Chains A and B, each alone.
Chain A
């Protein structure tokens, strides 16, 4: 099993450009999450999907959109990138809804200039 995979690993954008970060899991998990990690701030939840067909906002959703394409895939879109979105983005999945832990992908390092 590959677990949770993310593409791309690195990306540099100019302010105003758009892009989509892809995430897929092969563990048949119900729930999927997008986090951003910034120095000294830990992980902050951007959006999550409790199950296929549902998405909800987390702590820092502004400037992002998500799509739960199917049970395996959960994408994060930046419509108009800003320098404040420079961060490392992690996708995670969990079996849900109780007594479970999250499994993380390798991350995408995004720089917006």
Chain B
């Protein structure tokens, strides 16, 4: 079945540690890729997006993600996390042959200890 997989369900880091959250998808063809963040009690906000071009994309708050087409992956990274990064992170895929459907991963909860 087609899916978006986030293998890390819960990550605990200390401040200043580096972060990498995995995202893999199983759809063939051209895709748009997104990472969203949900801070406690809030709605989802866009962190970054990939449509085409440079596979390394930079987003807000120092986050970046790399699209590796051969691995069907779009991993999220941040060199040094802060306590304020504590949130849940969702990877999402949009299929360009199905313009209006977005598929979300199950989310990764990040807990940053001060």
Partner-B contacts on A (CB < 8 A)? 31, 33, 35, 40-45, 48, 50, 56, 58, 90, 92, 94, 96-99, 101-107
B90 touching A97, Cβ below 8 Å: no
> CB-nearest residue of chain B relative to A106?
B43
Cross-chain contact of A96 among B90, B99, B104 (Cβ < 8 A) = B99
A48 & B101 in contact (Cβ 8 Å cutoff): yes
**Chain A: which residue is nearest B90 at the CB level?**
A42
Residues of B within 8 A of A43 (CB): 44, 90, 104
Among candidates B92, B102, B106, residue contacting A41 with C-beta atoms closer than 8 Å: B106
Residue from B45, B51, B96, B104 within 8 A of A42 (CB atoms): B104
Given contacts A40-B106, A42-B106, contact A107 B34 (CB under 8 A): no
Task: Give the docked Cα–Cα distance between A107 and B42 (Å).
Answer: 8
Question: Is residue B105 within 8 Å, beta carbon to beta carbon, of the partner chain?
Answer: yes
Chain A residue numbers with a CB within 8 Å of B92 are 102
Complex Cα spacing A35 to B49, Å: 20
Pick from B45, B103, B105 the residue with the most CB of A within 10 Å. B103
CB proximity to A under 8 Å, residues B39-58: 42-46, 49, 51
Q: A50-B99, A50-B100 are in contact. Are A104 and B45 (CB under 8 A)?
A: yes
B82-113 to A contact mask, C-beta < 8 Å, 1/0: 00000000101000100111111111000000
Determine how close the nearest CB of chain A comes to the CB of B52; give it in whole angstroms: 8
Cβ–Cβ < 8 Å partners of B34 in chain A:
101-102
Whether B51 lies near A99 (C-beta < 8 A) is yes
| B101 lies within 8 A of A106 (CB) | no
What string of 1s and 0s marks CB contacts (under 8 Å) between B1-41 and chain A?
00010100100000000000000000000001010100000
State the CA gap A97–B96 with chains docked (Å): 9
Residues of B within 8 A of A40 (CB): 9, 106-107
Docked-complex contact B43 and A98, CB < 8 angstroms = no
Q: How far is the CA of A104 from the CA of B8 in the complex (A)?
A: 24
A39 CB to nearest B CB, Å: 9
| Cross-chain contact A104 with B43 (CB below 8 angstroms) | yes
